[in-house]
Amino acid sequence: MSIHHPTRPIAVRRAEATAERVERTTGFELLARAGFAARAAIYGIIGLLAVKLAIGSGGKTTDQTGALKTIAHQPFGKALLILAAIGLGGYSLWRLSHALLGHGPEKSDRGFDRLAAFGSGVAYGIFCAIAVEIVLGSGSSSPGASKTTAGVLGWPAGTWIIGIAGAVFGCVALYQCSRALTKDFLKDSKTEEMRPTTRRWFELLATVGHLSRMVIFGLVGIFLIKAAIDFNPNKAVGLDGALNKLANQPYGSALLGAVAAGLIAFALYSLADVRYRRI
């Protein structure tokens, strides 16, 4: 009799077995890979619009919802948005399956990886729902970080909730930094199938992209904590607000341009993941 693993409820074991079978199907893999393409489109649009703003040729700062609305306004926008919604839903299911099973492509995810997978799965599930709302014509304008924060601050323990949310974003930022500096992302990719030049570009794009996301998530976390401490929802920012904060600093155009270029790098890395990610 094993003493290493306590007996888990039958329902949990059945759920894990079902998830294992689904995860190994070709259809599930195609959905997950479509998710990387959708992620690339979102970050590419955000980055390109921010670059245009930084160099003074129009553009604007926007977030994931704004990127989805930009897709909807393109030729064949409804069809493109439907494809994006399918991809985002597939990516969400793939990440949630990792959270359920406790492992990813290398069968060795740590506890934090499992938690990160759950958070990512929930976030992209929300983006999928927003895309569906826009397709159906029922998507309203985003309430924005300040209004959302104001509502939460009115709850019992609302200050603590916002502060914890800020700390979570800070942890995500540190995770992005760790991924960039340790090149931890390589274990998730089929590097053995890459040519040397392809691998060098892949590493560069992934590193720059993760560092750019570190800056964005870090700023969101900092301003959420400030909003909680000062009990001032106007200090909370989302992704678009974080980009605006950069633009308003000394040498703001250069800072915004650098981070926006990093987001484009992350989009290109995501496109490469369509081909090379281990599913």
196-217: per-residue pLDDT in tens?
A: 999 999 999 999 999 999 999 9
Mean pLDDT of 154-162: 92
pTM, to two decimals: 0.90
User: What percentage of the chain reaches a pLDDT higher than 90?
Assistant: 75
pLDDT in tens, 24-51: 788 899 999 999 999 999 999 999 999 9
219 has pLDDT over 70: yes
158 has pLDDT over 80: yes
pLDDT in tens, 96-107: 988 887 755 545
Tokens 């607000």: give the residue.
Answer: 241
Tokens 């959270």: give the residue.
Answer: 99
The reported pLDDT for the residue numbered 279 is: 85
pLDDT band at 21 (very low <50, low <70, confident <90, very high): confident
The reported pLDDT for the residue numbered 1 is: 38
User: What percentage of the chain reaches a pLDDT higher than 70?
Assistant: 90
pLDDT greater at residue 219 or residue 144: 219
